[in-house]
Amino acid sequence: MGFVRSILVYRRFLVGFFLAGLMLSAAPSPVAQAVHGQASSGGKPGGNPGGNPKSWSEPTEPFHIAGPIYYVGTRGLSVFLITTSDGLILLGGAVLGTAPLIEASIRKLGFKPENIRILLLNHAHFDHVGTIADFKKLTGAKVEVMEADVELLNSGGTADYLFAKDTKLHFPPVTTDKVLRDGDTVSLGGVSLTAHATPGHTPGCTTWATTAAEGGRSYVVVFADGAGINPGTHFVKNPSYPGIADDYRRTFAVLESLHPDIYLAYHAGSFDLEGKQARATTEGVQVWVDPQGYRNYVAGGKAKFDEEVAKENKP
């Protein structure tokens, strides 16, 4: 049976690389290339945390961050594995075709993807949920989603306020197993994550917060989301959806109220993943402790929002 299983895993790799190749061979639409390009990058205001879309489908080495938190994403898109005594939590996803890369990273760390019990999202856009259907099928895990993104996830992107008509930005529909609301806590095996609604980027965009113990110290960890503004979003004149400007203001207020030791995000460039990872071999967990980087991340997104609103308010 071990030989048969090895063959099946290898076939998953081939299928994943083939699908990723198809995605990369198609010329991305200008919107697809620019998605998430308006937030802060590497702890500095401005920049392009979305990076090169090619990196979204490229493999990278998985690694430990702090406590129960591991990185199992692609080179450009963050996916986090959270280990507990009662099973695993997978936070985030990536583009369609990269599930075999994420699965391989989990196995390389010595964990079994079949032990994933809960699938959590940051928001329901193609670059973060394209692998959710694959992992739900593989693991039978419960998909737990912020209420305002349930319809979007179930629609496969066709209900998106900005990308509904762009088929390149759609994804396999996924049914929600548990609906979450602002302030809800997801707990498993002694690990708890708190869901903070940070809407605007999508109506159900979610920032997660938890604590991680490492080296005799406890760190506040925030998986930040919601600071990015996609091209084509309107706040004042013909708003992209009613109340979107107020949602963004609420999001920045929430993000400013959080004071993490460690902040992580869902595009590698948003928290200088490659730079910090390279230094982690000598600096350890302290390389991830970056409260000023977090403040810059939030400030950069807020400044961009204010700029966009000011543009729309000009006569």
DSSP 289-300: B-HHHHHHHHHH
d(CA 139, CA 106): 13
Query: pLDDT value at position 276?
Result: 97
Cβ–Cβ < 8 Å for 82, 193? yes
Give the tens place of pLDDT for each residue, 18-43: 343 433 333 344 444 445 543 433 34
Please enumerate in sequence order all residues whose Cβ is within 8 A of that of 30, keeping only pairs 6 or more positions apart, or say none: 231
Structural domain contains residue 309 = yes
Query: pLDDT value at position 29?
Result: 46
Structural domain contains residue 178 = yes
Q: What is the number of domains present in the chain?
A: 1
d(CA 236, CA 247): 13
The first and second tokens of residue 230, run together, are 């996609």
Structural domain contains residue 42 = no
At 270, the amino acid letter reads S
Query: pLDDT value at position 52?
Result: 82
Structural domain contains residue 27 = no
d(CA 157, CA 168): 10
Beta pairing, strands 206-214 & 191-197: antiparallel
Structural domain contains residue 33 = no
Rounded to whole angstroms, what are the CA distances from 255 to 218, 219, 290, 310?
20, 17, 15, 21
Query: pLDDT value at position 181?
Result: 98
Query: pLDDT value at position 143?
Result: 98
Structural domain contains residue 41 = no
d(CA 69, CA 213): 10
Structural domain contains residue 28 = no
Structural domain contains residue 29 = no
Query: pLDDT value at position 50?
Result: 57
Cβ–Cβ < 8 Å for 94, 75? no
d(CA 289, CA 57): 27
Question: Could you tell me how many residues make up the chain?
Answer: 315
d(CA 137, CA 99): 11
Look up the domain containing 190 and give its range. Answer: 2-22+48-313
Q: What is the CATH number of the domain that holds 242?
A: 3.60.15.10
Query: pLDDT value at position 291?
Result: 98
- Which residues of the chain are under the pLDDT cut of 70? 1-51
| 134: Cα within 13 Å, side-chain hemisphere | 23
Cβ–Cβ < 8 Å for 77, 56? yes
Report DSSP letters for 151-205, one per residue. Answer: HHHHHTTTT-TTTTT-GGG-------SEEE-TT-EEEETTEEEEEEE--SSSTT-
